[in-house]
Amino acid sequence: MTSKKNIDDFLSKKKIAVVGVSRSKGKFGNVIYKELKKKGYVPFAVNPKLEQFEGDECYDSLTALRGKIDSIIIVVPSKQTEGIVEEANEIGVKYIWMQQGSESEKAIEFCREHNITVIHNECLLMFVEPVNSIHSFHKWIWKVFGKLPK
């Protein structure tokens, strides 16, 4: 289970790669990128099929961000996550958040074996302050039922 300390450590890092931004406007990676930027983080868009996202440079890989990022949020299908965590390890990133739907047991185990702090089964937008809209309500429900990380 994810600990509150791991979440706090992840969120203390301000330069975050968002793997999974998309041309499709409604995709969750896009929402995360925009929310991080709005809340004072420095997000880096990662998608090998895009040159720009929201007017910012879009990177084709994590390797292109070596030395520029502190952490990564993954918002892609779970099969892709396995390669992403290996690339993250190669460039020395030690904080990874696998957004719900992106998790893979193999990727989670890889992170643990390589001393990478991994967060999974949690929605980033429930923890990036200030928490807004439906995510605030969702967080409250989880708190009432004792499901928030401790």
Point out the least confidently predicted range of 54-58, 68-72, 136-140.
136-140
Higher pLDDT, 105 or 137: 105
pLDDT band at 34, cuts 50/70/90? very high
**Tokens representing 18?**
């968002």
**Reported confidence tier of residue 25, pLDDT bands at 50, 70, 90:** confident
The structure's pTM equals 0.92
Would the pLDDT of 136 be above 90? no
In a domain, 150, yes or no: no
Range of the domain at 36: 4-144
CA 92 to CA 101: how far, in whole Å? 24
Q: CA-CA distance, 136 to 133, in Å (whole number)?
A: 6
pLDDT at 131 over 80: no
Q: Is residue 124 part of a domain?
A: yes
Q: Is residue 149 part of a domain?
A: no
Domain count, the chain: 1
Model confidence at 105: pLDDT above 90: yes
> How crowded is the C-beta side of 137, counted as CA atoms within 13 Å?
2
Average pLDDT over residues 102-115: 97
pLDDT, mean of residues 97-125: 96
Q: Which residues of 76-95 are buried (b: 16+ CB within 10 A; e: fewer)?
A: bebeebeebbebbbebebbb
Asked if the structure places residue 57 within a domain, the reply is yes
Percent of the chain exceeding pLDDT 70 equals: 97
Q: Which CATH number is 20's domain given?
A: 3.40.50.720
* In a domain? residue 120: yes
